[in-house]
Structure 1
């Protein structure tokens, strides 16, 4: 009888150990499943890099800046839009977009993801009768955008893709000084010479010789004094002063105005500075293009 009691007690203990072991194993498996699901599914960004970039462009172009900024890196001082610091250009107010036409179509051309970084290329067809303003540029009917994004967040709270940079090879061009560049359909500009004038004055005087060419069939209006900038090696920006006696030092004076079909105009834009300028870049900027001419 004693042996049977011991056997029954051992049998109950073995059964308990067996059940407990299975429950423990099941618990471990469930924890592993949860961790894997949390890591690879629940923590996965809700929007892809392309969806984030498109959502930003849609919101910004629809005058919903508060919504648009949700897709940017929270540290806005690190965000760059069209070659400018976002903090410097976000003050630009919206202009009511042109009402005719349908909503734009966005097409993802390329996505590259490496770790926490992503690059996206997007083609936008604006589908508007006339272009509308996007940070001081008129958007053409078809435009390419390039977006850089970074994945931010934590394992506990989840991750999101956020934009650090938006650029467009259709709006921002880089060229060598002296190259002829098309700034709108059949309209070209070219910087010819930048030099310091030997002029006895307390301020330093510089001249930029430029050329505009209208190969279109319509007359256009040009405004050289608002189109050109000098970027010094230190990063300082120089613009032609609105009023200066130096404007008469070089002829022909280039005030701008009408440029007739098939007409080419050359002239000078003057700059003043309190110190010697060592030009790093010559910038042309209008509502259609920004051209960065590198100075060797």
Structure 2
């Protein structure tokens, strides 16, 4: 028998090369981690330059006690109106350095400018804290309680309802309308208990009482030329009470008129109307406090 007899048409084939699966090349390097550069932090508050070098931050030197007190006083007084508009640091003098430089630059010029160094703060314009010796606080409080038990009798009819809305609307028209004839006294309104009833619900009741005493005692000192006293109290005692309530009114107004304080108010319109009455009454009292007032005013 010959070799391979009985095997007909037997073909011997060689295995074909298999195609490489896609991604097989990536699978070989999948487990190898890439090397990342080691980044070291140079500090949370460190500055850097384009060259990569650290930059030293300039630090302000510490103030001594005298300088700290000076800065404290400037912040307490606040910046003047010109420095606030120009967003500059106010030096705190009266006038400040910025206003003084503006006045010198405008000297001889026809440009219309305001030259005053204005500080929009009631505390800065406070004329009641003069450093004079006053009776103790307890004695002042006893006089205030005694005077508040009494009331001022009015010889006219109040032409508006006793609420903040009606009073603010009527007094606002009284300020703007020059032709209308006044049939009432603003001083009388703010000097009697009506003022307290108007403001004690909208504002702090203490403010309403302070305003009532302030207007009443100020006009009394003005009309009597600070002679003869008031009831059983001397002129010095009455002036001490007037200065005390006047200073407290001005300091409180500075706080109440801050934008943050006004924005935090829930009933904004009612609060603004009450503040208008408070400012108007304080202005009326200040009008009779000024020494240059020599003629009676129709208020």
Q: Indicate the structure (1 or 2) with the bigger Cα radius of gyration.
A: 2
Could you say which TM-score interval applies, normalised by the shorter chain? under 0.3
Point out the structure with the larger helix share.
Answer: 2
